[in-house]
Amino acid sequence: MLKLQASGSCDSAACLPPIKGFLETSFIDWPGKLCAILFVGGCNFRCPFCHNHPLVLAPEGMETIPFEEIMDRLAARKNWLAGVCISGGEPTLSPGLPRMIARLKAEGWAIKLDTNGTRPEVLAQLLGNNLLDMVAMDVKAPLVQDKYERCAGGPVDLGAIRSSIDLLSHSGIPHEFRMTIAPGLHTEEDIAAWIKQFDRSRSRLTLQNFNPKSTLDIRYEKEQGFAPEIFSHFTAMLT
């Protein structure tokens, strides 16, 4: 049973993660499902190619959408939405995340979580309380310290990343490990090493091509993603 009264938690909306963005309909964020997306601010990574950087760098300057408004807007779409995706930023940094998911589940919503895997203890709590129906974990690079920290933009506890990978691999729920690849950060050898980290009989793997439209590090806005034929070659390595 989920323990909602720990460490000063409460029943008010102030205890829930501040929602900084809401997309009512997405066809691409949950494979095979039409979903809504809630965006939670704050992140412990500074990935140079991040396209959600306002959520990472300055969430306090963004308007917070009241949770009850979100619930009303979701209720109006319940006949055609299959679930709710919680993304960020990094949602597991918010102490009120389990409470928010529990409230959504109580209304019958299936939940997908996007995470960078740095807080396996939170992931274990959510999985242990059957609060998740799907998880997408961004695994930034092969599990090599300098490579990972370059892609994450700072220090990384690879032990935590490994724990989250293991949790999801044995969770029994649908999940995927995905990596955004960018020239200058990832090579074909990196991608091959990344793929070998996973048991593909248990887990779905996905590659995403870097999009320079808007990035945390403005230097990457002058770069390009991999050419289509090269990216197709890389994705073929997953089969």
Task: Give every residue of the chain whose pLDDT is below 70, as ranges.
Answer: 1-14
pLDDT of residue 10: 47
Q: Considering only CA atoms, which of 238, 123, 231 is closest in space to residue 186?
A: 231
Distance (Å, rounded) from C-alpha 41 to C-alpha 38? 10
**Which tokens in the block code for residue 226?**
């991999």
Judge whether 41 lies within some domain. Answer: yes
Distance (Å, rounded) from C-alpha 56 to C-alpha 52? 7
Q: Residue 180: is it exposed, middle or buried by C-beta count within 10 angstroms (0-12/13-18/19+)?
A: buried
Distance (Å, rounded) from C-alpha 223 to C-alpha 184? 9
Distance (Å, rounded) from C-alpha 41 to C-alpha 194? 28
Judge whether 36 lies within some domain. Answer: yes
Judge whether 142 lies within some domain. Answer: yes
pLDDT of residue 169: 97
**Which tokens in the block code for residue 52?**
């959600």
Judge whether 222 lies within some domain. Answer: yes
In the chain, the number of structural domains is: 1
Q: What is the CATH number of the domain that holds 24?
A: 3.20.20.70
pLDDT of residue 14: 62
Contacts of 134 (CB under 8 A, 6+ apart): 30, 83, 110, 111, 112, 113, 173, 174, 175
Judge whether 1 lies within some domain. Answer: no
Judge whether 74 lies within some domain. Answer: yes
Entry field: residues in the chain: 239
Domain residue limits at 178: 6-236
Judge whether 107 lies within some domain. Answer: yes
